[in-house]
Amino acid sequence: MPARRVRSVIVHQAYRFALDPTPAQARALSAHCGAARFAFNWGLALVKAVMDQREAEKSHGIAPEDLTPALQWSHYSLLWIWNRAKHEVAPWWTECSKEAYSGGLYRLAPALKNWTDSRTGKRTGPTVQFPRFKSRRRARRFTTGGIRVEPDRRHVTLPKLGRIRTYESTRKLARRIEAGTARVTSATVCFEGGRWFCAFTCEVQRNDPPPAQPDAVVGVDLGVAHPAVLSRPLHGVTDAAGFVLNPKHFVRESTALRRISRKVSRRCGPDRRTGARPSKRWERANQRRNRLHCRVANMRRDGLQKLTAALATEFGTIVVEDLNVAGMLRNRRLARSIADAGFAEVRRQLAYKTRWRGSRLVVADRWFPSSKTCSDCGVVKTKLPLHIRVFHCEWCGLEIDRDLNAARNLAALAASSTAGTGVAGDLEPSGSNGRGADCKTCAPRAGSREAFTSHRATVSDEDRRLGSARDSRRIGSPSRPSGS
């Protein structure tokens, strides 16, 4: 078997490690998080005060040239103003690293820019609201520079904080730094689930081999009962039919989560109206709930990482759908299961992993009738209610699982030039308006698009026996084309 040619590419990648700080170091980390929050809130208050002053002056008929000068919202401009005012507004600023204050303003600048672009029409998608002040309880993050990974692979060095021990070995990053294939640019320290983490943003030179089957095409149909259904089985990932088993992490932990949530609600929590601080018992119970949420998120993230890594390693072309997740979440009965599936995360991970290996990611447009099209003869059904889980073709007599039929249609779509750009790691279909909802693919034969089915539709006994509800996409879609 000929050796696969290794592809070298420089990418931005993050390495995340759990920290094991001493009590004094933990207090210092909290102080740096507070410093970043203070700089963010100070900059936001300054911008808001100048905007309100200009509006008041305009209401009094003052000429535009005589108004209070407007502030520049770039990171450099905000940092320039901070450096000249920090001795008065924060005389204690020397207790924390200057990188913490810079990081707080670095997060404020793009927030203000996104709000401005959303108002002027330069930014597509949902309307971006004006930034809000950060809460003391929720702001537990700061970004710093000038960091170093120690050669002993058990410590990291941060500015003003010194050497901090890590829970796990940093050898994955240390080996790349020693070999000269990685360069650390910044580090973000955050507090999640009762533990401190440090994420290093690096420029990494990856030398990944191409996919094992560069000419193979696989269609991936995402669902609820099964996280994904592949058009062809993959050893070690799917069963013999191509179905990925659903571990249901959130469902398994839902009983414990309800129990701890009731315990939190019975404690004396914080009150914004009166300014009352939470009790110690509430804080302990809330920490337990946060750790449980973090555990479920980590298990979900691990499963999705393994799935997408296996797909990018094996196949040269991967076809996925552009799902309307925002519309699907409006279904109150399936919103929890849809959010737990992580549809957007699967597509995001496939985008950069296919770029690493030089493979191709094809994104089918939102209205492609993947479930209603026969994967054998190409006939498109007029209607296919969601409670029917087995696809039966009256033209050729094919009987196949609905999700498997959709996955095979997606795989057959890879050869078509009407869906997707064919560029490795492309995130938007061709002709997209930024949200991917204006591109319509012509069906192979006469038919209609995906039919909307009411949630109260009656399910027959035969359909219940043949399969359970696996696919919840397009339920409750807010925008539908005319005539569907």
| Residue 195: domain span | 7-19+147-208
Please state, in angstroms and rounded to a whole number, the distance separating the CA atoms of residues 379 and 381.
7
339 and 458 inside one domain? yes
Q: Quick: pLDDT tens for 278-305.
A: 999 999 999 999 999 999 999 999 999 9
Strand partners, 9: 206
Same domain, 84 and 56: yes
pLDDT at 191 over 80: yes
Is position 308 within any domain? yes
pLDDT for residue 61:
87
CA nearest neighbour of 474 among 272, 313, 324, 304: 324
**What's the confidence (pLDDT) of residue 416?**
66
In a domain, 277, yes or no: no
The answer on 370 and 233 residing in a single domain is yes
449-468 pLDDT, tens digit per residue, is 333 333 333 333 434 333 43
| Whether residue 34 has pLDDT greater than 70 | yes
202 with 90, same domain? no
Q: Is pLDDT above 70 for 413?
A: yes
SS3 annotation, 258-271: HHHHHHHHCCCCCE
Domain check: are 332 and 451 in the same one? yes
Using one digit for the tens of pLDDT, what is the confidence trace for 153-182? 999 999 889 999 999 999 999 999 999 999
pLDDT in tens, 216-248: 999 999 988 888 999 889 988 888 888 998 888
Residue 353 lies in a domain: yes
In this structure, is residue 251 part of a structural domain? no
Distances in Å between the Cα of 200 and the Cα atoms of 16, 121, 141, 186, 351 are 6, 34, 13, 6, 21
Report yes or no: 451 and 384 within 8 Å, Cβ to Cβ. Answer: yes
Each residue of 313-351: pLDDT tens digit?
A: 999 999 998 888 888 888 888 888 888 888 889 999 999
On whether residue 136 sits in a domain, the answer given is no
Contact 200, 149 (CB under 8 A): yes
| R_g (Cα) of the chain, nearest Å | 26
**Residues 327 and 339 occupy one common structural domain:** yes
Residues designated as active site: 221, 321, 403
**Banded pLDDT at 398 (limits 50, 70, 90):** confident
**Helix residue spans in 2-74 (DSSP H):** 23-59
Q: Same domain, yes or no, for 101 and 202?
A: no
330-344, 359-373, 403-417, 422-436: least confident range: 422-436
Give the pLDDT mean for 355-366: 89
Can you give the pLDDT at residue 381? 85
Structure-token match 């440090």, residue found: 198
Report if residue 258 sits inside a domain.
no
Least confidently predicted of 68-72, 110-114, 424-428? 424-428
350 with 459, same domain: the answer is: yes
Confidence (pLDDT) at 3: 58
- What is the pLDDT at residue 475? 35
Average pLDDT, the chain: 82
What's the mean pLDDT in 101-117? Answer: 94
Residue-level pLDDT at 474: 35
Assess if residue 289 is contained within a domain: no
**228 and 199 in a common domain:** no
The confidence score (pLDDT) of residue 67 equals: 87
Whether 64 and 173 map to the same domain: the answer is: no
Mean pLDDT confidence for 373-401: 85
In the prediction, which pLDDT does 164 show?
A: 94
Q: How far apart are CA 247 and CA 235, in angstroms?
A: 17
Band (421; pLDDT cuts 50, 70, 90)? very low
450 shares its domain with 327: yes
In this structure, are 115 and 161 located in the same domain?
no
Tally of domains in the chain: 3
pLDDT confidence of 395, banded at 50, 70, 90? confident
Q: What is the mean pLDDT of residues 425-437?
A: 41
pLDDT at 393 over 60: yes
Q: 434 falls in which pLDDT band (50, 70, 90)? A: very low
Q: Which amino acid, 132?
A: R
- Establish if 175 belongs to a structural domain: yes
